[in-house]
């Protein structure tokens, strides 16, 4: 396997090239889980993998009709968010401890695999914030009682319910770790937004369980199929970074998943051949800050020049958006909303922003359609 084949296969497996996905649900299911710490960015990350569809195709949740097709149109931000609002895709802390989109069909078995590891990782912060076992049990009961009957409460409303029932100082990081504990235990899940605020619901009410959980070994193999099917060729170390599981577990999952593998520079790379590699790496895409094409790997050297290493380091809560040209990160971008316009600024450490802007023309146009705004470009 040659390094260029890694780019060709990843572009195809990420459905940045020749996508045959039809809905946001299919994008999330294909990826296994999609980091959504930046909610608005993550919505764009789903849309960029959806080809334009006929407005009568039924792909946006409605039934197909016999009416003739109109010109194709790109998915909009509100259309993608609607799949989250009605619970067809979910958002919660899963895998390594950050926000992810995940499907109702997958959330419980993924929690089974990852929650023990995240709890162990959080143990120090639980102690530091006074979220001991007694507090956890008490908080779970209060949250269960407060949300029963399909109620949707914001984080501040959950805090008020906890404090009214004697869980003192349910605010700041202490509140965050109480809520995350309840998410990892399969009690809470994000509900629809109320204005700009996220709400929480009971998982069993927003996405009722269907069927039994698989055996752990089967779940591990399935997670490997999702990870390498969407991101391969990649290593067991990459999978461990993404999933939060041990390298030994990740290697066992890859071996059980029926994947192809090959050696390159002393490392074993795994992938699925369900999709053929892209014929070429040519193309350019605006991608959101936590997009799986960038964030999904421990070793990003195949797709990311060394000049960008500092952008992913330092523990910043929000990373900059990035753009990809010919399979590799080529620069950063930011958006600023105006009246009827979205101003997009490109930055390149290689001094190629003007050249890159031409390559990105189609992606920039599509991003404007996604927001329903006219894109105004400023290369730097």
Q: Where are the domains of the chain?
A: 16-206, 216-271, 284-379
Q: Is 133 exposed, middle or buried (0-12, 13-18, 19+ CB in 10 A)?
A: exposed
Supply the pLDDT for residue 310: 65
Running along the chain, 380 residues long, what does each successive block of 10 average in pLDDT?
90 96 97 97 97 52 40 84 97 94 98 96 95 95 97 96 86 94 97 96 97 96 98 98 97 97 95 95 96 95 84 58 95 95 94 93 96 90
Task: Specify the pLDDT at position 60.
Answer: 52
The model carries a pTM of: 0.92
pLDDT at residue 312, as a whole number: 54
- Rounded Cα gap, residues 41 and 343, in angstroms: 15
The answer to whether residues 290 and 255 touch, using CB atoms and an 8 Å cutoff, is: no
CATH, range 16-206: 1.10.10.10
Any idea which fold 216-271 has? Answer: Arc Repressor Mutant, subunit A (1.10.10)
> Which of the 8 DSSP states describes residue 343?
E
Q: For residue 262, what are the β-bridge partners?
A: 269
pLDDT of amino acid 311: 61
* CA–CA gap between residue 281 and residue 14 (Å, rounded): 13
Tell me the H-state helices in the chain: 3-13, 24-31, 39-47, 77-85, 107-128, 133-147, 155-164, 172-184, 203-206, 216-231, 236-243, 247-256, 292-295, 309-312, 353-359, 361-371
**The domains spanning 16-206 and 216-271 adopt the same CATH topology:** yes
Residues in Cβ contact with 204 at an 8 Å cutoff, skipping those fewer than 6 apart: none
Angstrom distance (rounded) from CA 333 to CA 345 = 5
| CA–CA gap between residue 308 and residue 261 (Å, rounded) | 28
**With b meaning 16 or more CB within 10 Å and e meaning fewer, what string describes 318-346?**
ebebbbbbebebbbbbebeeeeeebebeb
**Ordered strands of the 90-94 beta sheet:** 34-35, 98-102, 90-94
């Amino acid at each position: 396997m040659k390094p260029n084949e890694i780019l060709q296969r990843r572009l195809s497996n990420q459905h940045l090239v020749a996508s045959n996905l039809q809905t946001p649900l299919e994008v999330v299911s294909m990826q296994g889980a999609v980091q959504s710490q930046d909610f608005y960015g993550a919505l764009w990350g789903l849309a960029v993998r959806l080809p334009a569809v006929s407005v009568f195709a039924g792909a946006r949740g409605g039934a197909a009709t016999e009416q003739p097709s109109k010109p194709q149109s790109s998915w909009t931000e509100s259309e993608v968010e609607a799949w989250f609002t009605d619970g067809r895709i979910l958002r919660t802390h899963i895998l390594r401890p950050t926000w992810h989109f995940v499907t109702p069909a997958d959330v419980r078995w993924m929690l089974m695999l990852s929650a023990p590891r995240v709890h162990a990782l959080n143990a120090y912060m639980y102690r530091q914030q006074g979220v001991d076992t007694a507090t956890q049990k008490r908080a779970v009961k209060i949250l269960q009682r407060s949300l029963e009957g399909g109620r949707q409460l914001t984080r501040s409303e959950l805090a008020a319910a906890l404090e009214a029932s004697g869980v003192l100082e349910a605010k700041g990081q202490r509140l965050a770790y109480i809520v995350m504990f309840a998410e990892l235990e399969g009690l809470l899940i994000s509900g629809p937004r109320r204005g700009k605020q996220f709400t929480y619901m009971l998982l069993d009410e927003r996405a009722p369980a269907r069927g039994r959980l698989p055996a752990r070994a089967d779940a591990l193999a399935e997670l490997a199929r999702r990870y390498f099917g969407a991101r391969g060729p990649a290593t067991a170390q990459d999978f461990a970074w993404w999933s939060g599981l041990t390298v030994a577990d990740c290697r066992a999952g890859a071996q059980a998943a029926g994947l192809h593998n090959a050696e390159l520079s002393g490392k074993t790379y795994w992938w699925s051949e369900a999709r053929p590699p892209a014929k070429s790496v040519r193309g350019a895409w605006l991608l959101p800050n936590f997009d799986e094409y960038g964030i999904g790997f421990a070793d990003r050297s195949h797709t990311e020049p060394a000049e960008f290493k500092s952008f992913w380091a330092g523990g910043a809560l929000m990373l900059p958006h990035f753009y990809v040209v010919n399979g590799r990160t080529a620069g950063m971008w930011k958006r600023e909303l105006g009246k009827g316009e979205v101003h997009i600024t490109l930055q390149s450490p290689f001094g190629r922003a003007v050249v890159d802007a031409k390559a990105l023309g189609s992606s920039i146009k599509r991003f404007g359609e996604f927001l329903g705004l006219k894109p105004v470009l400023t290369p730097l």
